[in-house]
Structure 1
């Protein structure tokens, strides 16, 4: 497979190999008269998700800190969400120490809450884990006990309702966000079966400056299947709507799973 691709970036929108978090479980029906159509960049779309549940998340980032809500095709977890958040001081020490020790994955098991409550300034309390908290992961700071930590939501960078019966996409889509020296791309699930993927990206271009406070939609000239996904070391040239070319390199795959977004 060639390592050279062209990505086309659209206008801004608000929005390690491992298996998926299986903590996202439950079911929920939308309120009568409320559409479940995908509403990219509209946090208000979450207003229909009022049932509390344990929304397992991947924690990633260094300069900035981000939470990726691991979705499922149906029920109260049928949302792809990326949150930029601030972790309390004690929790940040735990997270930084685990990452410095080479942990490929840190997860967060929050106390039950409803996605409708997510907004800037809201808090999420729970426990950090080294690895997958339901599949052999150990709570931080030790395997014997876990300290309760608190995330404060700064902004919602990506909010997408999942629709497993949407038309099959002809190519893969991503949302790119971050800041100079630390960019990330999250794969957008379009039709079941699909996959979760978080990429750490490198670019020296200043053209993505507007993606610091929002996630930029990206379409890759690749089939939308896991076997053709971009992996560590792959390089390509991205193109903005105005024709500006942006070179990217995948530094590493922060997360990958076909478990939760397999067949519904």
Structure 2
């Protein structure tokens, strides 16, 4: 009986084994953009697991002073910033996920975190306020004649984000100034392979002046071949 009690005590004291990582577990780098009206993070996708999802989030930083500082630095600019987060399961960002991810810790980097960027803020707590886009990518080779862009943001400060629907394809985020009552609906333009679309074509699709296009935040093809 004494031996049994000792065995039970040792079993109770043993640490529980952590669940094995799922198929979307990894370090999911993101492009960071926005300004005083909001911050957004766009996952940098690939056509293989665990990165085969296009995800766009609206976020804020848990530290109010840091949140205000970062928004001020990004506001009105198109220079690339990226997020280098701790590892997590990307599918926890899917709407309706049983254990939705509400926050994560990350370094905030001016430039690309894997291409010589400079870490400006370490171990920031990023809070997820909204999931704007969550799409699983198909690895199949496919060609599309049009590039479809969804609009992210509120008011006049908005961003166009290209839906990745072909292989090969390109990741493209564009800042633009919208008219006060401009439609937030997606827009489409003719596509020329993986070449970066002309700003005038985007403006025409938006029924806006060319000057409404503020510039490209992110354009990349290497990870989507």
TM-score, structure 2 normalization: 0.76
Q: Deviation at 1:59?
A: 0.5
User: For 1:1-264, what aligned pairs fall within 5 Å after superposition?
Assistant: 50-62=23-35, 63-88=37-62, 89-96=64-71, 98-99=73-74, 104-118=79-93, 122-141=102-121, 147-165=122-140, 167-208=142-183, 211=184, 216-220=185-189, 222-227=190-195, 229-231=197-199, 235-238=203-206, 246-247=207-208, 249-261=212-224, 263=225
Segment of structure 1 superposing worse, 108-117 or 246-255: 246-255
- Structure with bigger strand share is 2
Residue 152 of structure 2 contacts residue 158 of structure 2 at CA under 8 Å; is this kept in 1?
yes
Q: Give the CA RMSD over aligned residues.
A: 2.6
Residue 169 of structure 1 contacts residue 224 of structure 1 at CA under 8 Å; is this kept in 2?
no
Q: Deviation at 1:224?
A: 4.6
Q: Deviation at 1:207?
A: 4.0
Structure 2, unpaired ranges of 5+: 1-21
Q: Which has the higher contact order (CA 8 A, sep 6+)?
A: 1
CA distance in 2, matches of 1:90, 1:50: 36
Q: Deviation at 1:225?
A: 2.7
Q: Deviation at 1:198?
A: 0.2
Q: Deviation at 1:97?
A: 5.7
Inter-CA distance 67–232: structure 2 relative to 1 (3 Å threshold): farther
Structure 1, unpaired ranges of 5+: 1-48, 142-146, 239-245
Moved over 4 A (4+): 100-103
Aligned residue number for residue 45 of structure 1? none
Deviations 1:13-71 (A, max 9, x none): xxxxxxxxxxxxxxxxxxxxxxxxxxxxxxxxxxxx65420000011001111000010
TM-score, structure 1 normalization: 0.66
Q: Deviation at 1:100?
A: 6.7
- Structure with bigger helix share is 2
Aligned residue number for residue 9 of structure 1? none
Count how many residue pairs are aligned between Structure 1 and Structure 2. Answer: 195
